[in-house]
Amino acid sequence: PRGGGGGGRSGGRDSPRPDSRSGSPAIPVDEPAAEEGPEESEEPKEMTQEEYKKNKTLLVDYFFDDKDEKAAIETMKEWVGFDPDRVADFLTFFVFRSIERKGMDWQAANRFFRLLPTVLSAGAFKDGIAAIAGNIDDYRCDLPLAPQYIAQMFAGPIADGHLSFAELAEICKRAGPPKEKDDDDEPDEIEEGYILEEGIALDVVCKALKGVADIAGAPRAAIVFEESGVDLADFANDLTVAADKIESTFSLSEILSGNPLTPVKGKIAELLGAEEGFEASAVAAEMEGAFDAGIRSSAEYVQEVALAALRAAIPDASKCDSDRPMEELERFIPLLKSVVWGPDKDDKEGREMAMLFAAQRFAHDAGHPPGLLTRLFKDVYSGDVVCERPILQWRDDSSATVPGKDKALFEVQEYLVELAPEEDEDEEIHE
């Protein structure tokens, strides 16, 4: 080992050295220490094209073997000179190699693709999506189901708010393969509108929307679709199903029937705004009777009800005393517990995270008064609405559907440190 005893020599560096003339030990003499100047840290060099080709191939090969999407993302963080210019090339390379691979684990590919926006600039990522869409007909020649697999890849970033459904729709309307060039000096151009004309675009956008419902729930997909303003009929032509058959062909009825949270907003506002006052447990019971389990099990339902409860409990967040438990919030705890615990145990931690995102949104809308979010986290934790693991999962979550995450993390960083020992104990229990 480096610095490990000098290959078996006796004595350390401070042992007296024998005097060459008398053989007796010499008196140790303190030698003046060499002057140390400030260390110059070298700027990491950008990858050459050859280094980039080697690195991207190694990363994809390793990922295919171990399916560790987090390790792959950590490796990409170290690539200098990658974003933005090489992003589109990497994304198309990854998709091509995935299609080429026999027995491809598409679920693993989807997990990796979903994390990519956390290490890529937004513009470069969207350019990469456009490059993939432009090549989709070529991919389909190698694998007929390629549009379906690619649509499912796109679903993760849409569900997490890194790519809007409107942006995907616009990309698919314009996408096409590169035009052939007679001269290398000619500018790069695409056959704009090609995948729309070939009937591929409808398949991609509809299956991406269905993919959002599969991974984040129909309420989330319905909200994504409603906010986009996209008309799916714009993608229908002679090579696709008729516009009036889109909903049934792609099993989108639950998504296209409207935002299921619209009646939730009206109902919770009515109950919490009753002139004669209310009991939180009675409100919880009435909400349970008004909405089916499919709606109540969703994170979107929890966020909507929790945000309404926080606004009713704390009408002026700037006047809150964050040094003590909030008495104003206490009466709402039974309601919050009811919506977070939900109709079943499935994805309870997801609903707990939704409660925390509602608190984040409330603090963001209030302008992040000092101490407010930490107080809210402490109160819902002590009230058994959430436990420590979802708080730490909220910390690590990279989705962009709720604004104000950076300020929120800064606000609660000391509280997260307090929870760290409990995180270790929780991990030991689960092991």
Q: CA torsion 354→359→363→365, rounded to 10°?
A: 50
Confidence check: pLDDT of 44 > 70 = yes
Confidence check: pLDDT of 421 > 90 = no
- The pLDDT, as a whole number, for residue 36 is 56
Confidence check: pLDDT of 15 > 80 = no
Confidence check: pLDDT of 428 > 50 = no
Of the listed ranges 10-14, 151-155, 401-405, the one predicted with least confidence? 10-14
Give the H or E element holding residue 337: helix 333-341
pLDDT category at 346 given cuts 50, 70, 90 is confident
Q: 308 with 339: CB under 8 angstroms?
A: no
Confidence check: pLDDT of 314 > 60 = yes
- The pLDDT, as a whole number, for residue 38 is 54
Q: Which residue from 322, 325, 427, 417 is spatially nearest to 368, judged by alpha carbons?
A: 322
What's the rounded Cα separation, in Å, for the pair 79 and 51?
A: 10
pLDDT tens digits along 267-301: 999 999 887 788 899 999 999 999 999 899 999 99
Confidence check: pLDDT of 176 > 90 = yes
Of the listed ranges 37-41, 254-258, 342-346, the one predicted with least confidence? 37-41
- The pLDDT, as a whole number, for residue 227 is 94
- The pLDDT, as a whole number, for residue 3 is 37
Cut 0.75: pTM above it: yes
Of the listed ranges 124-133, 203-212, 291-300, 331-340, the one predicted with least confidence? 291-300
Confidence check: pLDDT of 392 > 60 = yes
Of residues 40 and 135, the one with the higher pLDDT is 135
Tokens of 124: 């470069």
CB neighbours of 47 closer than 8 A, spacing ≥ 6? 55, 79, 80, 81, 82
